[in-house]
Amino acid sequence: MSLADILIILINGTIIFSTPLILTALGGVFSERSGVVNIGLEGLMVIGAFAAAVVTIFAGEQWGLAPGLAPWLGILAAMVAGVLFAIPHAVASVDLKADQVVSGVALNFFAAGFALFMVKKLFEGAGQTTTVQHTFNKVNVGFLADIPVIGPLLEGLFNIYPVSYLAFVLVGVAYYVLYKTPFGLRLRAVGEHPRAADTLGVNVRRMRYTAVMISGGLAGIGGGALSIAISSSFTHATVSGHGFMALAAMIFGKWHPLGAMGAALFFGLATALASLSQTIGLANYFPSELLNALPYLLTILALAGVVGRAESPHALGKPYEKGSR
Amino acid sequence: MNNSTASRWTALLVPTLAVVLGLLIGAVIMALMGYDPLVGYTAVLDGVIGNSYFFGETLRAVTPLIFSGLAVAFAFRTGLFNIGVEGQYIVGQLAAAYVGVSFDLPPVLHAAMAVLAAMIAAGLYAGIAGWLKARLGVHEVITTIMLNYIALASANYLIRNFLKGPGERTEDILPTASLASTWLSDMFEGARVNWGLLIALGFSLLIYWLLWKTTTGYELRAVGLNPHASEYAGMSVPRNIVLAMVISGALAGAGGAADTLGVYGYMNISAGFSGIGFDGIAVALIGSNNPFGVILGAILFGGLSFGADNMQRVEGIPTESIKIVISIVIYFVAASAIVHWLLGKFRRRQEVQSS
């Protein structure tokens, strides 16, 4: 295999592995920018992964939906499920003035229990869904492949699932919404100084509810991308820590959509490198078990060395009480 | 009733009501899914106290949860969220297995050295996260999560290359390092309940004493409550953060040692986490981050989880329904405002009636 081939596979793998992380980290940005800690991203991903796999399987194989549409219905279901499951977290964090970390932990436990409970119910006691048959087809660059020289290169690089394109588009959308619209300004304001925002007539409660639900929707899609496009089924191990990785990507990216995307791509690269290690002979020099630990080690080093102190939104984790100082 | 006893009662009431609400809502969900919750809960209870073997095995399952719950609770009390108990537990298992397999020492001393090694190794491992937070301001939630994966991968690597025994595991530990107890085991018809349980109870007392009866404990809690004020009062915030993580990790490591030396006698190469560290978060929360609360929390959590296996085996109701119950309990512990609000209503009504 030539170096160019390896590079293409590596970049391609990076994009695929980082897709769920990008989407979920974006969700984290929305929630935490509004001042609500969302450690429940892991659970929201679990719910999304479960809903996407189940709906895609049933839509494609039993309801007779066109094979091309089934995964999209799955992703839609993942988003809706994510939004719905984020609501209890919003209720606890905004109205009940609960400890948001604890509420997030509860959400993670609930999602893990509920999803597997339903899988056992739907698949005759099995601990996992059947394989997703009608998954996404990889979308290529189309006519651009006809361009001489760089055409084949592009074709190799962008042989990816449509959800990956969706993830990148949503990064742009999130950036625009958060930084270029009044809604985004208000959302960030309630996360920095809710009392000031309240004084100026921003409905803190409604903003935070909206932000947490958006975060649920995005994490749901992230989980859906994981179960449909990457692992092709849902088991108890499908998500296993991706939500926490997304949380790390969000902090690593300093609570900014572009930063979060960059961090997620970095994690994706490390994962792609580990999975490529056999092919490119890296495993001969470095034990594969330790390569699996590489993304995590790099994250710690990056957080410790390069990034420095990350400034979180000022009112993060603090419930807002009207009229309090 | 004076104020402090009143708040102590509330501290007990919140988790109790949370448990009741959790069981009720869990029952509703089970019923909606077409299972009879009464049959389910009976089977759970049967799986715990149905015979003395089950009860002994429940205690075996409760033991590591006391350790991991203590580790999380201790960190919470000092203002830290240690999600890394899972990894520290693995490091403890590994260190205990290493000492248990590789050294030749007299009984009791050997076991004690193995537990000590596990506590030191896991304590230092957790100390990395403490140091990174204290010196570089890196959030401990992120580093401890990352350290979990690193611990899992490294332990697998070390076992495969340096401690490999028959199959996908280490050699058996020497009998001198074992924490298995014949009299405890005989008492429960051969269940694997072991000395680890008594060590766990001992550590609960020790942690209570450390946190509330010593200067070190006072400083640790003060730094957790208000780092700025503590620094102004002359306490070293970085030192206390690192110390808190080391002690929390050591407790997690002791849990790993108890399981390796007392239950299994070896350590497996494993594809994923045992979940004991994550469950410790729930145990600590149910126990209001109090060492004695942790014991109760571990009994509740361990009992429900262990009994759930029996429910699935006998009645075919998925064990996950118990996980749902536990998550609802945690939710209501977090949202204790609901409970306080209910209590407030209740009190007001009493006052109206008595006047």
Residue B80 lies in a domain: yes
Is pLDDT above 60 for A325? no
The CA distance from B85 to B166, in Å, is 28
Q: pLDDT grade, residue A140 (50/70/90)?
A: low
Q: E strands within chain B?
A: none
Encode pLDDT of A99-124 as tens digits.
888 899 899 999 999 999 999 989 88
Q: Which position has the higher pLDDT, B126 or B163?
A: B126
Residue B111 lies in a domain: yes
DSSP type of residue A37: -
Global ipTM:
0.85
Residue A313 lies in a domain: no
Question: How many interchain CB pairs under 8 A, A with B?
Answer: 137
The CA distance from A286 to A305, in Å, is 24
Is pLDDT above 90 for B337? no
Question: Contact, B148 vs B83, CB < 8 A?
Answer: yes
Q: What is the pLDDT of residue A279?
A: 72
In chain B, which residue's Cα lies nearest the Cα of A102?
A: B334
| Phi then psi dihedrals of residue B174, to 5 deg | -70, 150
CB atoms < 10 A from the CB of A200, how many?
9
Lowest mean pLDDT among A91-105, A151-165, A172-186, B308-322: A151-165
Name the minimum distance, in Å, from the CA of B311 to any CA of chain A: 13
Encode pLDDT of B141-174 as tens digits.
889 988 999 999 999 999 998 998 888 899 999 9
Q: pLDDT grade, residue A141 (50/70/90)?
A: low
Question: What is the CA angle B292-B238-B287, rounded to 5?
Answer: 15
Cα B268 to chain center, whole Å?
20
The CA distance from A17 to A287, in Å, is 21
Residues 109-168 of A with CB under 8 A from B: 109-110, 112-114, 116-117, 120-121, 125
Query: A165: helix, coil or strand?
Result: helix
Chain A residues whose beta carbon lies within 8 Å of the beta carbon of residue B327: 106-110, 113
Q: What is the pLDDT of residue A125?
A: 79
- The token duo for A247 is 């949380």
Residue A267 lies in a domain: yes
Chain A residues whose beta carbon lies within 8 Å of the beta carbon of residue B147: 296, 300
Residue B290 lies in a domain: yes
Q: What is the pLDDT of residue B65?
A: 97
Question: For residue B251, what are the CA distances in angstroms to A240, B127, B155?
Answer: 25, 12, 19
Q: Which residues, 6 or more positions from A2, have their beta carbon under 8 angstroms from its beta carbon? A: none
Most confident by average pLDDT, A7-21, A138-152, B93-107 = B93-107
Residue B108 lies in a domain: yes
The CA distance from A177 to A171, in Å, is 10
Residue A288 lies in a domain: yes
Number of domains in chain B: 1
Encode pLDDT of A167-197 as tens digits.
999 999 999 999 999 999 999 999 999 999 9
Q: Is A182 on the interface with B (CB under 8 A)?
A: no
Q: pLDDT grade, residue B64 (50/70/90)?
A: very high
Q: What is the pLDDT of residue B28?
A: 95
Q: Is A233 on the interface with B (CB under 8 A)?
A: no
* Contacts by B157-165, CB closer than 8 A, 24 or more apart: B157/A287, B157/A289, B157/A290, B158/B94, B159/B94, B159/B97, B159/B267, B159/B269, B160/A289, B160/B269, B161/A287, B163/B97, B163/B98, B163/B101, B163/B267, B165/B101, B165/B266
Residue B174 lies in a domain: yes
Q: pLDDT grade, residue A159 (50/70/90)?
A: confident
Cβ of B145 within 8 Å of Cβ of A107? The answer is no
Is pLDDT above 90 for B46? yes
Is pLDDT above 60 for A318? yes
Name the minimum distance, in Å, from the CA of B200 to any CA of chain A: 24
Instruction: Tell me the average pLDDT across B43-71.
Output: 95
Which one of B135, B136, B142 makes the best mutation probe of the A interface by having the most chain A beta carbons within 10 Å? B142
The CA distance from B282 to B278, in Å, is 7
Cβ of B154 within 8 Å of Cβ of A289? The answer is yes
Chain B residues whose beta carbon lies within 8 Å of the beta carbon of residue A116: 318, 320, 323
Q: Which position has the higher pLDDT, B98 or A69?
A: B98
Is pLDDT above 80 for A322? no
Q: What is the pLDDT of residue A143?
A: 66
Residue B204 lies in a domain: yes
Cβ of B323 within 8 Å of Cβ of A241? The answer is no
Residue A203 lies in a domain: yes
CATH number, domain containing residue A231: 1.10.3470
The CA distance from B65 to B335, in Å, is 23
* Residue bearing tokens 């190469």: B269
Lowest mean pLDDT among A226-235, B11-20, B146-155, B276-285: B11-20
Percentage of chain A modeled with pLDDT above 90: 48
Cβ of B338 within 8 Å of Cβ of A96? The answer is yes
Encode pLDDT of B195-227 as tens digits.
999 999 999 999 999 999 999 999 999 998 988
Question: For residue B240, what are the CA distances in angstroms to B145, B219, B236, B246?
Answer: 21, 7, 6, 10
Is pLDDT above 70 for B7? no
- Domain range for B288: 64-295
Encode pLDDT of A69-83 as tens digits.
889 999 999 999 999
DSSP type of residue A139: B
The CA distance from B130 to A311, in Å, is 19
Name the minimum distance, in Å, from the CA of A64 to any CA of chain B: 26
Q: pLDDT grade, residue B1 (50/70/90)?
A: very low
Is pLDDT above 90 for A157? no
DSSP type of residue A144: G
Residue B251 lies in a domain: yes
Most confident by average pLDDT, A158-162, B98-102, B157-161, B168-172 = B98-102
Residue A126 lies in a domain: yes
Q: What is the pLDDT of residue A308?
A: 55
Cβ of B153 within 8 Å of Cβ of A289? The answer is yes
Q: Is A311 on the interface with B (CB under 8 A)?
A: no
* Residue bearing tokens 């979990």: B148
Residue A316 lies in a domain: no
Residue A314 lies in a domain: no
Which one of A32, A42, A238, A289 makes the best mutation probe of the B interface by having the most chain B beta carbons within 10 Å? A289
Question: For residue A286, what are the CA distances in angstroms to A243, A280, A289, B71?
Answer: 27, 12, 9, 34
Cβ of B318 within 8 Å of Cβ of A117? The answer is yes
Residue A129 lies in a domain: yes
Q: Which position has the higher pLDDT, A223 or A7?
A: A223
* Residue bearing tokens 């073997």: B53
Beta bridge partners of A139: A160
- Domain range for A136: 3-307
Q: What is the pLDDT of residue A289?
A: 77
The CA distance from A288 to A304, in Å, is 25
Q: pLDDT grade, residue B5 (50/70/90)?
A: low
Cβ of A110 within 8 Å of Cβ of B322? The answer is no
Q: What is the pLDDT of residue B157?
A: 92
Q: What is the pLDDT of residue A324?
A: 62
Residue B39 lies in a domain: no
Q: What is the pLDDT of residue A36?
A: 95
Number of domains in chain A: 1
Task: State the alpha helices, DSSP H only, in B137-275.
Answer: 140-162, 182-187, 195-213, 215-225, 227-232, 237-258
Q: What is the pLDDT of residue A323?
A: 67
